């Protein structure tokens, strides 16, 4: 008779782990993806900052052409990192 009582109390907590997982996983995913996005932001910032310094010393007409070239350069670097 004691075995039935034990099984009955175990059945009450059967879905507890699933509920706890459902409550915790969104927070963990938000934290992980937030860290990844922060890293990407810092990488892009560090890639743009030195190149932007070159534009300060140029005349305004030439700066626009160089800026477009630098943007294309950065985009190509990012694509190479994603593919490689």
Q: What local confidence, expressed as pLDDT, does residue 23 receive?
A: 94
CB-based contact 47:77 (threshold 8 Å): yes
H helices of the chain, in order, are 2-12, 16-56, 60-83
- For the chain of 84 residues, list the mean pLDDT of each consecutive stretch of 10: 56 80 95 93 82 70 77 82 72
Q: What is the pTM of this model?
A: 0.53
CB atoms within 10 A of CB 58: 13
The helix/strand/coil state of 15 is: coil
């Amino acid at each position: 008779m004691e075995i039935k009582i034990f099984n009955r109390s175990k059945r009450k907590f059967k879905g507890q782990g699933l509920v706890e997982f459902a409550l915790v996983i969104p927070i963990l995913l938000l934290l992980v993806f937030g860290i990844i996005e922060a890293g990407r932001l810092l990488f892009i910032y560090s890639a743009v900052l030195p190149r932007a310094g070159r534009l300060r010393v140029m005349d305004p007409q030439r700066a626009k052409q160089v800026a477009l070239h630098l943007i294309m350069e950065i985009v190509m670097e990012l694509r190479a990192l994603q593919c490689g």
